[in-house]
Copies of this chain bind each other. A is one copy, B any other.
Amino acid sequence: MQDLLGNLFIISAPSGAGKSTLINALLTQHADMQLSVSHTTRSPRPGESDGVQYHFTDVTNFKQLIADKQFIEWAEVFGNYYGTSKAALADKLAQGIDVFLDIDWQGARQIKQQLPFVTSIFILPPSVQALEQRLNQRGQDSADVIAGRMAKARDEISHASEYDYWVVNDDLELALQQFSGIIQTQRLRQTKQAIRQQKLLAGLLANETK
């Protein structure tokens, strides 16, 4: 896939960093952006509908899509398959729509290898204390359960250096403002502007004055 007008953003974070809240707020603020809808073989949960939270499909079809190289990244998690379709992504980016991908470091790595123009953002919690508190919101989990969640969060955080930008989610307003700045800035990148400002540049470089 070539670099298209739309921007592709990977957003990763350890559980407990406030990623969902941030993404939802961003989608509300930026009506022109969309969250990429993944394919999955798991069953819809109550309230979920096909094409909104996921494209629901069966294992046979999913494996055929893998064989046809239709996924830019896919993974099997607890017996269920999850994947991001190339065609759907390319279609949105070609239309100039900016797309968020909410994936973990493994998916991010697969995508960055194939689409070097992707912009990847890692969300960090503001402190160990805040992370522990968020991972134990119900306040009724055992120390072992919390330690397990912390270990998983630490594993994700250990890959933060593979991302382009880090946003520390301390103050939500500030984090949102930083995200918006990153989004706007990608739109000003030379590769994007060369498409958007093609006529202006051609006019400026035309060797005639009126």
A residues whose Cβ falls under 8 Å from a Cβ of B: 122, 124-129, 131-132, 146-147, 150, 153-154, 157-158, 160-161, 163-168, 178, 180-182, 184-185, 188-190, 193-194, 197, 200-201, 203-207, 209-210
Contacts and interface: CB of A to CB of B under 8 A. Distances in A.
Given A150-B209, A185-B165, A190 B160 contact: yes
Given A157-B204, A200-B124, A167 B181 contact: no
A205 B131 CA distance: 12
Contacts of A157: 201, 204-205
Contacts of A206: 128
28 contacts: A124-B200, A126-B200, A128-B203, A128-B206, A128-B210, A129-B210, A131-B204, A132-B209, A154-B204, A154-B205, A154-B207, A157-B201, A157-B205, A158-B205, A160-B190, A161-B190, A163-B190, A164-B189, A165-B188, A166-B193, A166-B194, A166-B197, A168-B193, A168-B200, A178-B184, A178-B188, A181-B188, A182-B188
A22 to B, nearest CB: 14
Nearest to A154: B205
A190 B162 CA distance: 8
A124 B189 contact: no
Q: How many copies of this chain?
A: 2
Nearest to A157: B204
A21 B207 CA distance: 27
